[in-house]
Amino acid sequence: MRIDCPLCGARDRREFYYQGAAVALNRPAPDAGVEAWDDYVHLRDNPAGETRDLWHHEAGCGAWLVVTRDTVSHAVSRVELATDVKGAMA
Amino acid sequence: MRVAGKGLVNRDKSVTFRFDGVSYTGFEGDTVASALLANGITLMGRSFKYHRPRGVLTAGSEEPNAMVTVGEGAGAEPNVRATVQEIYEGLMVRSQNAWPSLDFDVMAVNDLAAPFLGAGFYYKTFMWPKRFWEAIYEPVIRKAAGLGALSGKHNEDTYEKAFAFCDLLVIGAGPAGLMAALAAGRAGVDVILCDEDMQVGGRLLAESGAVGHLSGADWAASVMAELEAMANVRVMTRTTVTGAYDGGTFGALERVNQHTGKRGGGAPLECFWRIAAKRSVLAAGALERPIAFQNNDRPGVMTAGAVRAYLNRWGVSPGEKVTVFGNNDDAHRTALDLAAAGVHVAALIDSRQGITVEAASFPVIVGAQVCNAAGRKALESVTVRTSAGEQSIQTDCLAVSGGWNPTVHLTCHMNGRPTWREDIQAFVPTAGSIPDMAVAGACDGVFSTLGCLKDGLRAGQEAAEALGKRVVAVDLPVADDAAYALEPLWAVAGKGRAWLDFQNDVSVKDIKQAAVENFRSVEHMKRYTTQGMATDQGKNSNVMALAVLADATGRGIPETGTTTFRPPYGPVAIAAMGAGAQGHGFAPERFTTSHKRSVERGAPMIEAGLWYRPSYFPKAGETTWRQSCDREVGYVRKAVGVCDVSTLGKIDIQGPDAAELLDFVYTNLFSTLQVGRVRYGLMLREDGTVMDDGTCARLGETHYVMTTTTAAAGAVMRHLEFVTQCLHPEWQVAFTSVTEQWAQFAVAGPKARELLNGVLAQPVDGESFPFMGCGPVEVAGVQGRLFRISFSGEHAYEVAVPSRYGASLFDLLLEHAERMGGGAYGMEALNVLRIEKGFITHAEIDGRRTAFDIGAARMISAKKDCVGKTMAARAGLMDEMRPQMVGIKPVDAAAVLSAGAHLYECGAAQVNGNGLGHVTSVGYSPDLGLQIGIAFVARGAARHGDVVRFVDAVRGLETDVEVCAPVFVDPEGGRVRG
Ligand SMILES: [Zn+2]
């Protein structure tokens, strides 16, 4: 597997640390309630198809990336800097 | 025997090698198989289960029978295919799976027991009684079955692994692959062309037909010469592409020195490549399948294409009187080539009716089948059945062809399923199985030479175009374009055992038996019979077995299914995949600046993550580590000790929002920390459990230095990156790891300040450096940092200098310490010192502990949000029945404690579910004169003074211990402030 880091270019997956679903970007407010927090910390979709993950270019530039990929074909369709994705959410 | 005037081997260069201790001579270019055949040796191995004598079946890497062990001693390599191993001067080869000798194998008695050893035999026979399996059956079976064995000694051979990158990877250098590489290469594409053979040409080397005005081999050589002259093309021979992976990544095994006697000196035996390619062309060719009939495994029975290859490429006839048996036109070539070379062809037997063979100088029997073979260790005759009856033909070699299977394997590696083609009775790759891969030539069911050349040209040009290159014309040479016609014939009807999987001894009967027992799915049949599960992965036999299963279950082949091909295509030594990872290469090693000094002082070094830290510093007269440890603890409690603490993670954090970041990642406040002060901080994961702890110093208004534990340094760094990129990219803060930039030493003990004042330019006192103070200092002329922090409970400091001064500062500190009755202390003493004070490490915060559990609930500031705060407030994480951190000390002062032991109520049954908690750390406290520990006990904070039962079932320890506060020394904390 290769991930096209927006800062470094296409690199072997061994350079990256896998975190999990990109929902980690959507941290609830402290008073959002039990359900919102349970959802944020524990509940994850398990799609057969498109998924958005967080990967960290740990052995590269240090950027956290939002990787859109297909869990069936393993095709990576998009790689974005997490800062950009989070910035656009503000 | 060699055939005059035939073959591509270098007859001017003879090569001597040994097989089972006997010396043989071959030529440069020979494989072990071709050289042995040339010497009249046909018996090359014994089968896995029945130890039946076996000869070579094929002339390629798909070989199931002729497995040998190469070399001797520690580096001996088992299960090498004789058809792949090239001979070189001095090569030593041994046969396998036979005892006492290949010629007389005692275990061949298994063959007589065959009626009891059919499909599912292991499952049925050895299910009961259970203990018999381990005690009797398994050892016996392991000894009887099996292929070659490893030496069991350390292998000194060098292996390598490497990455390669290209725009186009062409897999296979036969006519299709060569044309694809040529077309793409001329168009300027960055090409890697891989072929597992020692030279390019593929099937062209084995055929007698011409390409243009050249022989096939000469044409291949001319293309090779052009490709090698191109700077944008790399040709990798002896390189098997073993797997297709995500994102255009391929695995490939290069046999760098397997064909030479060169060992050691840095030249690797093999190199495992990871090739990243934008596009690929699969031109892997096709593999011939035999036909099953009774005793079709006799040495001398081979595929027709292999016989032709031995003749045309190696100038060897595998027999003196050869019979050819096939169901297709291609088999005719074998008879024609042999006859043209002057080899006696006993007969050509075609299973089809109404076939004529032009210019045949040998008997042609059509509408006939070979139904039996005779001769145990070498073929003597075959029985031919026609409508007129059966006849015997004296022959020492039978060339069999049941048709060709395209080598679809790689197209299945990403879950692709091949497509059945009725016209060629074979599976072909399904388009799009591997993204950006095109399939060309025989691999795609194109079986004429011209067709392959044309298809390869197309694939190469299309790849060039897709890669944005302008297509350059390549002339298509004239070549054979004969149609490929066959009628299906998988297994000849008859009694006795007709073999499919030669290596695993799976017969037609076994497959039928599986079907009868309702193992009708291909995957079930495979596992029940072990069909296709040997080292050759059923390359010759899987499709045959599938056809037999289809027949037995009354279904068509496509309805019955196909087997799944998984990587690797061919065997890959673990040594190649893990190249460089032996010994010191297993993991990176991180050394502190004091490493050399510590080793010189005889300190045993222990691993702490990737770091190496001194366990203790032995002194003359000390015979146990405990003596050293006790002495070192004494330094710190009574005088002064010095310890290298550089391995702790150090993260330099700067920016206007640095304080905000720290307030968010630590449970407690850091924005309120004064410049020049240090604070202990606790970090949680978002789920409320403790992630790490450590101190953080404020060096300036917008400048902090965070320390992490040695173990969690990487995880904390990643966490800070996560918070600042994924949660708060708006914060103005930057940070970087400076762990390796600073050497840092703890100076601890009542004389710590006295020692430091001997090396600092400006002496410190309680006012300039109060407890938890920090600031810049000049030490021995070097600008450094001083932190008054303590992990021992004593008056202590940590002094940091740029790493290049670390070794000399360590010397200087030790020199002073030793003069003052102190000295260096290692990890054992450090551990005792911190247990005596109840300071935690990752032995305690093991990923399950909350701040509440470790008695630090009040460290979660009510004034702000932080990572983990919300979830840490869940009722279940603050339940008083949770195991809480306590100290333990034995009622009997002489009792021995151990970490990992469980705690029970005294008198309670020591069973699962009854435990109160467990012990995380123990050490011997010289101050108290007994062993002490840290443990987690349900409702522990309220149980100080209670006696509970300590049980270590693994080490057989059991004693009463008293639960107490986890502070054993100086509970008021006066010393640290003194
Ligand atoms: Zn990067």
Mean pLDDT score, B640-657:
98
Mean pLDDT score, B174-180:
98
Q: Is B430 on the interface with A (CB under 8 A)?
A: no
Based on the domain organization, do B676 and B754 belong to the same domain?
no
Most B-contacting residue of A27, A35, A43 (CB-CB within 10 A), to test interface: A27
Q: In this complex, do B163 and A90 lie within 8 Å of one another by their Cβ atoms?
A: no
Residues, CB-to-ion distance under 5 Å, ligand 1? A 5, 7-8, 57, 60-61, 63
Predicted local confidence at residue B133, as pLDDT: 56
Q: Tell whether the model's pLDDT for residue B645 goes beyond 80.
A: yes
Mean pLDDT score, B183-191:
98
- Cα-to-centroid distance, A5 and ligand 1 (Å): 5
B800 sits in which H/E element: strand B796-802
Mean pLDDT score, B694-707:
98
- Cα-to-centroid distance, B404 and ligand 1 (Å): 47
Q: Is B730 on the interface with A (CB under 8 A)?
A: yes
Predicted local confidence at residue B121, as pLDDT: 62
Based on the domain organization, do B679 and B765 belong to the same domain?
no
Mean pLDDT score, A48-68:
97
Q: How many angstroms away from the CA of B719 is the closest CA of chain A? A: 10
- Tally the domains of chain A: 1
Mean pLDDT score, B283-293:
97
**Is position B178 within any domain?**
yes
Q: In this complex, do A2 and B722 lie within 8 Å of one another by their Cβ atoms?
A: no
Q: Is A61 on the interface with B (CB under 8 A)?
A: no
With tokens 């949770």, the residue in question is B882
- Cα B935 → chain centroid: 39
Q: Which string of DSSP letters, residue by residue, matches A8-70? A: TEEEEGGG-EEEEEGGGG-PPPTTS-HHHHHHHHT-----SSEEEEEEE-TTTT--EEEEEEE
**Is position B828 within any domain?**
yes
Q: What percent of chain B has pLDDT over 70?
A: 96
Q: Tell whether the model's pLDDT for residue B689 goes beyond 70.
A: yes
| Contacting residues of B for A10, CB less than 8 Å apart | 247, 276
Predicted local confidence at residue B151, as pLDDT: 85
Q: Is B703 helix (H, G, I), strand (E, B) or coil?
A: strand
**Is position B314 within any domain?**
no
Based on the domain organization, do B747 and B639 belong to the same domain?
yes
pLDDT digits (tens, 9 = 90+) for B575-597: 999 998 888 899 999 999 999 99
Based on the domain organization, do B276 and B200 belong to the same domain?
yes
**Lowest pLDDT segment from B260-269, B516-525, B778-787, B833-842:** B260-269
Based on the domain organization, do B623 and B757 belong to the same domain?
yes
CA distances from B297 to A80, B188, B302 (A): 58, 49, 9
How far is Cα B23 from Cα B25, in angstroms, rounded to an integer? 7
The domain of A72 spans: 2-88
Q: In this complex, do B725 and A81 lie within 8 Å of one another by their Cβ atoms?
A: yes
Last residue of a domain, one of B737, B760, B791: B737
How does the average pLDDT of chain B come out, rounded? 94
Length of chain B: 978
Which candidate from A25, A62, A75 shows the least CB-CB separation from B726? A25
Q: Is B865 on the interface with A (CB under 8 A)?
A: yes
The domain of B22 spans: 10-109
Based on the domain organization, do B696 and B658 belong to the same domain?
yes
Based on the domain organization, do B58 and B98 belong to the same domain?
yes
Q: In this complex, do A30 and B727 lie within 8 Å of one another by their Cβ atoms?
A: no
Based on the domain organization, do B628 and B766 belong to the same domain?
yes
| Contacting residues of A for B686, CB less than 8 Å apart | 27, 40-41
With tokens 């349970």, the residue in question is A38
Q: How many angstroms away from the CA of A47 is the closest CA of chain B? A: 18
Predicted local confidence at residue A85, as pLDDT: 97
Nearest Cα neighbor of B827 from B510, B621, B612, B566 is B612
CA distances from B638 to B99, B724, B750, B812, B839 (A): 71, 45, 6, 20, 20
Predicted local confidence at residue B358, as pLDDT: 86
Strands (E), B285-368: 286-288, 301-303, 321-326, 344-350, 364-366
**Is position B260 within any domain?**
yes
pLDDT-derived band of residue B139, with 50, 70 and 90 as boundaries?
low
pLDDT-derived band of residue B130, with 50, 70 and 90 as boundaries?
low
Half-sphere exposure of B782 (CA within 13 A, CB side): 19
Based on the domain organization, do B784 and B908 belong to the same domain?
no
Q: Tell whether the model's pLDDT for residue B774 goes beyond 70.
A: yes
- Tally the domains of chain B: 6
Predicted local confidence at residue B145, as pLDDT: 52
Q: Is A65 on the interface with B (CB under 8 A)?
A: no
Predicted local confidence at residue B179, as pLDDT: 98
Q: Regarding predicted confidence, which is higher, B207 or B130? A: B207
Based on the domain organization, do B574 and B614 belong to the same domain?
no
Half-sphere exposure of B253 (CA within 13 A, CB side): 22
Last residue of a domain, one of B76, B109, B142: B109
Supply the pTM of this predicted model.
0.91
What's the CATH code of the domain at B732? Answer: 3.30.70.1400
B526 sits in which H/E element: helix B522-529
State the burial class of residue B404 (Cβ atoms within 10 Å of its Cβ: 0-12, 13-18, 19+).
buried
Q: In this complex, do B870 and A37 lie within 8 Å of one another by their Cβ atoms?
A: yes
pLDDT digits (tens, 9 = 90+) for B59-108: 999 999 999 999 988 889 999 999 999 999 999 999 987 777 777 777 77
What's the CATH code of the domain at B81? Answer: 3.10.20.440
Predicted local confidence at residue B265, as pLDDT: 76
Q: Is B134 helix (H, G, I), strand (E, B) or coil?
A: helix
Name the residue in chain B with its Cα closest to that of A2: B247
Q: Is B436 on the interface with A (CB under 8 A)?
A: no
Q: Is A74 on the interface with B (CB under 8 A)?
A: yes
Asked whether B817 and B847 are in contact (CB, 8 A), the reply is no
Q: What percent of chain B has pLDDT over 90?
A: 88
| Residue/partner pairs of B73-80 with CB below 8 Å, 24 or more apart | B73/B151, B73/B153, B74/B151, B74/B153, B74/B154, B74/B155, B74/B156, B75/B151, B75/B155, B75/B156, B75/B157, B75/B263, B76/B150, B76/B151, B77/B573, B78/B147, B78/B148, B78/B149, B78/B150, B79/B147, B79/B148, B79/B535, B79/B571
Last residue of a domain, one of B550, B579, B608: B579
Based on the domain organization, do B188 and B246 belong to the same domain?
yes
What's the CATH code of the domain at A35? Answer: 3.30.2270.10
Asked whether B102 and B46 are in contact (CB, 8 A), the reply is yes
Q: In this complex, do B247 and A76 lie within 8 Å of one another by their Cβ atoms?
A: yes
Predicted local confidence at residue B890, as pLDDT: 98
Predicted local confidence at residue B262, as pLDDT: 86
pLDDT-derived band of residue B962, with 50, 70 and 90 as boundaries?
very high
What's the CATH code of the domain at B260? Answer: 3.50.50.60
Asked whether B172 and B284 are in contact (CB, 8 A), the reply is yes
Q: In this complex, do A76 and B729 lie within 8 Å of one another by their Cβ atoms?
A: no
Q: In this complex, do A12 and B686 lie within 8 Å of one another by their Cβ atoms?
A: no
Which candidate from A10, A41, A82 shows the least CB-CB separation from B687? A41
Based on the domain organization, do B794 and B722 belong to the same domain?
no
- Cα-to-centroid distance, B240 and ligand 1 (Å): 31
